[in-house]
Chain A
Amino acid sequence: QVQLLQSGAEVKKPGASVMLSCTASEYTFNTYYFHWVRQAPGQGLEWMGMISPSGGTGYAPKFRARVTMTRDTSTTTVYMELNSLTVEDTAVYYCARALGDLWGQGALVTVSS
C-alpha cells in the first residue's frame, strides 16, 4: 500500500529553522508533484508550495522568502525547510501527492520561546 511517511514532531524557538521530510513508499515517486500544506491549530488549510518531478518549485508568496522544497529521488523523499520561525508558524505540516489523493500523516511543529 502506497504511503507518505513524514518525520516527527518538532519544537523550535523563534528565529530557528525546521526541516521536515516526507518519504514515499513507491517507485513511481519520480513522476509526481508533491505539495506542502499546513494547518494552524483550529484553523483551515494553507497551501505553502510544491515541487515538480524535475525539482522545479512554486511557492506561495507568503512563504517564498523563507521556504525551500527539495527532493531526493534516491530515497524517494521530499523535504521542506522553513526559516526564521515565529510563533505563528506553529501548525501541523502535511505533505501531499499530486492532486491530493495521498497525504502524509502530518507533523506538528511548535514554535515557542
Chain B
Amino acid sequence: DIVLTQSPATLSLSPGDRATLSCRASQSVTKSFLSWFQQKPGQPPRLLIYGASSRATGTPDRFSGSESGTDFTLTISRLEPEDFAVYYCHQYGTIPFTFGGGTKVEI
C-alpha cells in the first residue's frame, strides 16, 4: 500500500497567514493521481485539488497544489476564516487508494 504521511499534524496560524501543508508518499504516485480535501466538523470532505495541482470547480485560487517527486504540497496563500479545517491528501492511482492522516489548520 502507498502510505501518505502528512505534516505537520497541526498548524496554528492566523487569518492572512500563508499555510504550507506537506504530504509525502512512500512510493511514486501513479500519474500524479493525488488530491487534497478539506473537511469541517460534521461535514463530508470537500475536494480542493486533483491531479496534484488542478483546482476543483469552486476552489478559490488562494489554494494551490504542487509536486516534487513523492512530496506533495498544498499551499493556502492567505488564510481566510473559513479555511480553518482539517486537510487530507489522497492518492487514487494505485489500489488500495489511501488517505493521509490529516493536517488540522487551527487559529
Chain B contact patch, size range? 20 to 34
Does A103 sit within 8 A of B, measured CB to CB? Answer: yes
What 1/0 mask marks residues of chain A from 9 to 24 whose CB sits below 8 Å from any chain B CB?
0000000000000000
B22 at the interface (CB under 8 A from A): no
Q: How far is the CB of B4 from chain A (nearest CB, A)?
A: 10
A47 touches B44 (CB 8 A): no
A interface residues, tally (CB under 8 Å): 22
* B84 contacts partner chain A, Cβ-Cβ < 8 Å: no
B62 to chain A, nearest CB (A): 19
3 smallest CB-CB distances across A and B, nearest first, come from A103-B44, A60-B96, A45-B99
Which residues on A are within 8 Å of B, measured CB to CB? Answer: 35, 37, 44-47, 49-50, 58-62, 94, 96, 99-101, 103-106
Interface residues of B (CB under 8 A from A): 1, 35, 37, 39, 44-47, 50, 56-57, 88, 90, 92, 95-102
9 A-B pairs within 8 Å (CB atoms) are namely A35-B97, A46-B99, A58-B96, A60-B96, A61-B1, A96-B44, A100-B37, A100-B45, A100-B47
